[in-house]
Amino acid sequence: MSEAPRRGIRSVEIAAQVLRALAGSPVAMPLSDLARVAGMAPSKVHRYLGSLINSGLVVQDPATARYDLGPFALDMGVAAIARRDPVNAAADALRGLALETGATAMLSVWSSQGATVVRWERAAGFLVTSLGLGSVLPLSGSATGNVFLAWLPRRMTAPVLEREGVLSAAAAEEAVARTRARGYAAADGSFIPGLAAIAAPVLNWQDEAEAAITLMVATAAGHDLDAALPRLLAACRRLSRGSDRAAPFPIGA
C-alpha cells in the first residue's frame, strides 16, 4: 500500500517550486522567464520572491533585475552535499593527508553548478587563496575540475563545459584521455597563479567520481607535490568503492 501524501503548507510548496525553477537554470532569470518555468503567474511569483529575498534564499541583481539563488540557498546545498556518506568518509582522510604531505587538502563533489568545494583542511604552511567552501572550480584549467571531467559521464559535464566555453570537444577528449591514463590531474599555477595542485577521484562501483581529493601548495614555498602523489592515490584507492578489486584507476607518473 502506497503511503498517503502528508498534509503540508501550500505556500511553502509554492516557494519550493520557485526555488526549483531557479536551481534548474544555469543563469540568473528575469521575472517573466522564472514565472514561465515555474508555471505560475508573474504577479504570484513576485510576491513569493519578496519573502525568499528577505530569507536569503534568493537575490536580485539591482542592475539587471534578474533573480538568482541567494547565499542561504548555497549554504543549504553545500550542507546537504557534505552529509553524504562518501563525502564524510573522504573528509576524514583530509587531516591525515595534510599532516603527512604538508599540503592543504580539499574535498570537492559534483553539484548542478560543477565541481564544488565541501571540505577543507589547511596545512601548517602559509597558503593564500580565494577558494573556500562552496567555491565552484572550472573543468578546464583546475586539477579538481579535470578529475570530474575524466571520471563523470559526458551528459553530466557537457552543460558545464558549454557554459565555460574554453575547451573544444576534441580538447576535452584529449584532457580526459590524459587524466585517466595518469590516474590523477595536476595544475601548475595557470588557474591560480602561485598555486600548484594535484587531484584524484574517489570512485563508486561504476568507476564514476563521487568526490575528488585535491592537495595544494604555494609554488613559492618550494614544496614538492611529487612526494605527496603516492599518498594521495593510496587514500583515493582506499576510499573508492570496490577497493578489493584491481586498482580502480591507473597510477602513473
User: What integer pLDDT is reported at residue 206 of this predicted model?
Assistant: 82
User: What integer pLDDT is reported at residue 26 of this predicted model?
Assistant: 81
User: What integer pLDDT is reported at residue 134 of this predicted model?
Assistant: 83
CA angle at 154 for the pair 148 and 155, rounded to the nearest 5°: 115
CA dist 184 and 190 (Å) reads: 17
User: What integer pLDDT is reported at residue 63 of this predicted model?
Assistant: 92
- Range 223-228 average pLDDT: 81
CA dist 244 and 248 (Å) reads: 9
- Range 115-140 average pLDDT: 79
State the pLDDT confidence band at 23, using cuts at 50, 70 and 90: confident
Contact indicator for 194, 220 with CB cutoff of 8 Å: yes
Cα dihedral across residues 124, 130, 135, 141: positive or negative:
negative
Percentage with pLDDT > 70 across the chain: 83
- What is the DSSP secondary structure assignment for residue 59, as one 8-state letter? E
- Range 82-90 average pLDDT: 69
Domain 76-239 has CATH 3.40.710.10: no
pLDDT at 80 over 80: no
Listed by start position, the domains of the chain span: 10-69, 76-239
Domain 10-69 fold: Arc Repressor Mutant, subunit A (1.10.10)
Please state whether beta strands 58-60 and 195-203 pair in parallel, antiparallel, or not at all (unpaired): unpaired
CA dist 148 and 125 (Å) reads: 28
Q: Helices 169-182 and 143-151 meet at what angle, rounded to 10?
A: 90
Higher pLDDT among residues 253 and 2, named by residue: 2
pLDDT tens for 160-197 read 898 888 888 899 899 999 999 999 999 876 667 778 89
Please state whether beta strands 195-203 and 67-69 pair in parallel, antiparallel, or not at all (unpaired): unpaired
pLDDT tens for 28-63 read 999 999 999 999 999 999 999 999 999 999 999 999
Average pLDDT value over all residues in the chain: 83
